[in-house]
Amino acid sequence: MTLTDLNNQTAEQANHTFIQCCTSSTWVKAMVAARPFSDEIAVAKQADLAWQELEEADYLEAFEGHPKIGDVSSLRAKYANTKELAGNEQGLVKEANDDVLEVLSLGNSDYQEKFGFIFIVCATGKSAQEMSDLLQARLPNNKAQELINAAEEQRKIFQLRINKAFAAG
C-alpha cells in the first residue's frame, strides 16, 4: 500500500487497514480520523501519539487481538482479524521442542491468571526459548508494571505492522 492509497481509502477501508495493525477500536478510530498523512513517518508518529492517549481498557482490547504465544489453536482464531500483516510473527515458535512449548504454555497460563491479560511480546525474530525466558522474567512484576511492558510490546508490534503495510505497497 502507498501513502496515497491510505489517505484515499474510505473510513471503512482505513478502519480495516488499521485494525490489521492493532485491535484497539479507540486507536483505530484515532488513526482513521488523523488522515491524511504527509508521509510514512507521520503515520508512525501518529500511531504512537494515539497509543499514548489510550486508557487501560483500550490496551486490554488491543491485547485481546493477540493469540497466546505458542498456542496454535489460539493463533488460528485470533489471527483471523490481523492475518494480513501479522503473518509469521511467531514463526520461530514452530521450531521449538515440546519441552520449551510446555514451559511457554504453562507460563502463559500463570501470566494470564496473575495479570488478567495474555503475555504480549514482540515475537518477531525471537525463538520460543527467548520468549519463554522473557515471560519468566516478567512474571514477578506487578500488574501496573506489566501493563506498561505489554503496552510497549504492543506498540512495537503495531509499528512493525505499519512498516509491513507500506513495504507491501
Tally of domains within the chain: 1
Residue 135 belongs to a domain with what CATH number?
1.10.3330.10
Please list the ranges in the chain whose pLDDT falls under 50.
Answer: 75-89, 91-92
At 76-117, the pLDDT tens digits run: 443 344 444 444 445 445 555 677 778 888 899 999 999 999
Name, in order, each residue with C-beta under 8 angstroms of 51's C-beta and a sequence gap of 6 or more.
22, 27, 151, 154, 155, 158
Region at 54 (left for phi over 0; alpha for psi -120 to 50; beta for the rest): beta
The whole-model pTM stands at 0.84
- Residue 83 has a pLDDT of 45
Name the residue range of residue 130's domain.
Answer: 1-169
